[in-house]
Chains A and B, each alone.
Chain A
Amino acid sequence: MPRDFSWIRPEPWGIHVVPADCWIDPARPVDRALVTHGHADHARGGHGETFATPETLAIMKLRYATEEGAVPVPYGERIALPGDVHATWIPAGHVLGSAQILLEHASERIIVTGDFKRRADPTCPPFEVTPCDVLVTEATFGLPVFRHPPVEEEIAKLLSALAANPERCVLVGAYALGKAQRLIAELRRAGHQDTIWLHGAMERMCRLYEEWGVDLGDLRLVSDASKEQLAGAVIVAPPSALNDRWSRRLPDPITAMASGWMRVRQRARQRMVELPLVISDHADWDELTQTVVDVNPAETWITHGREEAMLRWCELNQRKARALALVGYEDEDD
């Protein structure tokens, strides 16, 4: 009998796990939510119960100031849900606490990857390949033009711009959750031990990472700095602050942005970026396709991103696939 996996239903506002009546990363409040990771478009507030890793719940608490209904599930622990559904959170390598969610029901296994990447990240455990029948994969960078270069190359670009302009500063736009901390950790790994200056909106998340054991070195707030202190320094701010009035206080900043979109010149131009750094917390094209090969599911369902190209790739490789039309996921700042 052909399997139709009808116990899991993609709806525009989330993935419905029917027998357990719960939703994965729902875009609106529900009674029971299973959350892959802490980015606001996946982890919304207001649910009755929220199942997620302890790290993700800590991030959500920071954002929504409430722990009501939080149900922590450590990586690898298999929990039972109503309707004979079991769920396991498996590292996705995207940001601190990020997970793929494995759902098991009626001897069928479905994995929802959430956002993921395959490269090493000093701030979170790596993606684990897990066999399943249906792989629900993201496709943020699902076009073959997206091949992220090694992160070391991009960090070297940043450091050499800094060295070449000792009187200026490098202002890096980076997503406040994940990208910023990874960037800082990679700078430390490359031997950059100077104080890194933060936009106020970055501070609490960096402290949270430190509480969870990620060493970020000496971090201080731009608002506490003199202009002289900022010359020759790295400053990290949310992308929205790059061309904001806030940045006018900085000493002639070189505007950089750490994002997978920086691979495309016109996208960097649109963001008024002078120093594009191709650093992404999402899988690039090679990682996306390699993941389908590695996991080798019977079916691949493709969610937010550039579904068409991934669908085409599956077709060319004789893999059964479909695109889900989920709404509400933002990808502009990665």
Chain B
Amino acid sequence: MEAFAALLDALVYTRSRNAKLKLLADYLRDTPDPDRGWALAALTDGLDFPAVKSSTIRNLLTERIDPVLWTLSREYVGDSAETASLLWPEPAEAPSPPTVSEAVDALSRMTRANVMVELPKLLDRLDANGRYALLKLATGAMRIGISARLAKTAFAQAFDVAVEDVEEHWHGQTPPYAPLFDWAAHGAEPPNSDDLPLFRPFMLAHGLEDTEVDLADYAAEWKWDGIRVQVVRAGGETRVYSRSGDDISATFPEVAEALHIDGVLDGELLVRGAHQGGEEGGAASFNALQQRLGRKTVSKKMREEYPAFVRLYDVLILEGQDLRPLPWSQRRAALEALLPRLPADRFDISTVIPAADFADLSAIRERARDDAIEGVMLKRRDSPYVAGRKTGLWYKWKRDPLLIDCVLMYAQRGSGKRSSFYSDYTFGCWDGDPDTGAELLPVGKAYFGFTDEELKWLDRHVRNHTVGRFGPVRETDKSLVFEVAFDSVHASKRHKSGVAMRFPRISRIRADKPAHEADRIETLRALIRD
């Protein structure tokens, strides 16, 4: 556990990606099995101990310290595990830390009935850094800037194997990944995964920015405003995976039930129209899809009112053949040939935009009014399907955002890297003429779009302009104007303002603009296109 705790700490304080990779790779190379496998799982959120929740930590601590002091400390530190590691009473005896495997073993045997007795025994064997590592491991909330991708790259570096192979063999493996380490560290055969409905890493796109591409080399497709999914069938089972690789089959059973051909398909999950202005048979706006998201089970009524389907972008594997090394144009042909064999109510295809040249495409993009369109994708015609974001292969060209001037109303402290900074902002628009007594109505919340320097400035502004406090929230004097960018706005009964913005972010801080010149709510309502 000391080595793991030291690794965590070093990772926290190391900024450079290369230095992080080296730390991780060294750890993976030097640590014995199965500790390194458990550690790897912990770092990539692969561990779950049902008996230990974030609330367990709070409950343990508030048995030992006043709840108000706990809450104030937690708010300041911004992280439950770290707060608890600092507040935990130092044990009288010298620590005798468990190994990672011992800790994992003990944690997995804990139940809700005994966790309040058993977890303290582990904590009492560790110093503050060890307690932090243990609680992070136990609650599966590392948040130390280690993406799964980074961990896999480090794994590849540690054992001198290709990262694509690591990605491929990783899925379907469970901690502590013994076959994976046997393969990479000891030269054993890679784990076989042909008969499992496994997630394959997505190919992603860069923003187009100011680049122009030649449509002779690139095909243009609409980018749809749903959620990117991968539908996989193998060994008689079908799974629907989200972009992060989460299995969401249960949320969209009608999609999972509809694929009967072995393969791996990439597409956008959408909800069929007639809602919120969508055309009958076409795709509805993201707002409609939102009704279906995050549900563990889905009622018949939901399925009927918001039927889901997948607009296909690509085919990765088809009936045992890996198409990923082929150029996009060949995969596209395979996908078009496949389409008639799929149920039409659950699968259609994202059409290629017939633009003559880039200027033509630009004009077509400008004219696009369909709510379900988020922008345009540009795909190199000869690009293989490769995991992650490879420069020059795929570009996304989003619709220009909408802009509105709002007034900062409330601020809340962030967590993680921004703990102790007021970094989550609620802003509002005027419900009439501010010069004749109109009030601000909150219209949205944003916590990004600004630089670190701006964050410091904003934090200071909030502290110096506080007029009220509600727990972790500060009310400001409503003097600061933000230019807020957002992708769309929808009618909402849940919000007092009657509107809900999609993807709002701080576009500019308008310290120069007086608050009464900020926009009125009717300006925002006029942008609703539901």
Contacts and interface: CB of A to CB of B under 8 A. Distances in A.
B470 interface: no
A183 interface: no
Contacts of A306: 72, 76
Contacts of A273: 13
B77 A264 contact: yes
Given A266-B78, A266-B416, A266-B420, A143 B13 contact: no
Contacts of B12: 265, 268-269
A316 B66 CA distance: 9
A266 B69 contact: no
Interface residues of A, number: 23
Contact of B76 (A143, A147, A313): A143
Interface residues of B, number: 26
Interface in B178-229: none
B14 A266 contact: no
A294 interface: no
Contacts of B68: 309, 312
A145 B66 contact: no
A126 interface: no
Contacts of A145: 73, 76-77, 83, 86-87
A144 B61 CA distance: 12
A150 to B, nearest CB: 13
Interface string A257-285: 00000011111111011111000000000
Given A145-B86, A266-B419, A267-B420, A272 B15 contact: yes
A257 B12 CA distance: 15
Interface in B46-101: 65-66, 68-69, 72-73, 76-79, 82-83, 86-87
B72 A312 contact: yes
B417 interface: yes
A276 B10 CA distance: 11
A265 B83 CA distance: 10
Given A145-B87, A316-B66, A308 B72 contact: yes
Contact of B13 (A144, A268, A309, A313): A268
The residue in B12, B13, B87, B417 that gathers the most chain A C-beta atoms within 10 A of its C-beta is B13
Interface in B403-426: 416-421
A75 B9 CA distance: 44
A22 B519 CA distance: 48
Given A265-B82, A269-B12, A274-B13, A143 B73 contact: yes
A309 to B, nearest CB: 5
Contacts of A316: 66
B72 A309 contact: yes
A4 to B, nearest CB: 26
Tell me the dominant secondary structure on chain B's binding face.
Answer: helix
A188 B445 CA distance: 52
Contacts of B417: 266, 269-270
Contacts of A313: 69
A264 B419 contact: yes
B69 A144 contact: yes
Contacts of B78: 266
Contacts of B76: 143, 145, 264, 306
Contacts of A266: 77-79, 82, 416-420
A270 B12 CA distance: 11
Contact of A309 (B15, B69, B419, B420): B69
A316 B77 CA distance: 22
A172 B87 CA distance: 27
Nearest to A272: B15
B208 to A, nearest CB: 32
A25 B80 CA distance: 37
B472 to A, nearest CB: 11
B69 A312 contact: yes
Interface string B119-157: 000000000000010000000000000000000000000
Nearest to B456: A270
Nearest to A308: B72
Interface string A233-269: 0000000000000000000000000000001111111
Contacts of A312: 66, 68-69, 72
Nearest to B78: A266
B454 to A, nearest CB: 14
B74 to A, nearest CB: 9
A19 B357 CA distance: 84
A306 B87 CA distance: 16
Contacts of A265: 9, 12-13, 79, 82, 132
Contacts of B419: 264, 266-267
Interface string B241-280: 0000000000000000000000000000000000000000
Contacts of A275: 13
Interface in A297-334: 306, 308-309, 312-313, 316
A268 B66 CA distance: 27
Contacts of B421: 270
Interface string A121-156: 000000000000000000000011101000000000
Given A265-B12, A266-B79, A274-B13, A309 B73 contact: yes
A265 to B, nearest CB: 5
B77 A144 contact: no
A264 B82 contact: yes
Interface in B386-440: 416-421
B366 to A, nearest CB: 42
Contact of A143 (B15, B66, B72): B72
A274 B421 CA distance: 20
A264 B418 CA distance: 12
Which of A143, A274, A275, A308 counts the most B-chain CB atoms under 10 A from its CB?
A143
A149 to B, nearest CB: 9
Which among B69, B417, B418, B419 has the greatest number of chain A C-beta atoms within 10 A? B69
Nearest to A275: B13
A264 to B, nearest CB: 5
A275 B419 CA distance: 19
Interface of B: 9, 12-15, 65-66, 68-69, 72-73, 76-79, 82-83, 86-87, 132, 416-421
Which 7 A-B pairs have CB atoms at the shortest separation, nearest pair first? A145-B86, A266-B419, A309-B72, A145-B73, A312-B68, A274-B13, A265-B12
18 contacts: A144-B73, A145-B73, A145-B76, A264-B77, A264-B86, A264-B419, A264-B420, A265-B9, A266-B78, A266-B417, A266-B419, A267-B419, A269-B417, A270-B420, A274-B15, A276-B13, A309-B69, A309-B73
Given A144-B73, A264-B76, A270-B421, 20 more contacts: A143-B73, A143-B76, A144-B87, A145-B73, A145-B77, A145-B83, A145-B86, A263-B86, A264-B420, A266-B78, A266-B420, A268-B13, A270-B417, A270-B420, A274-B13, A306-B76, A308-B72, A309-B68, A312-B66, A316-B66
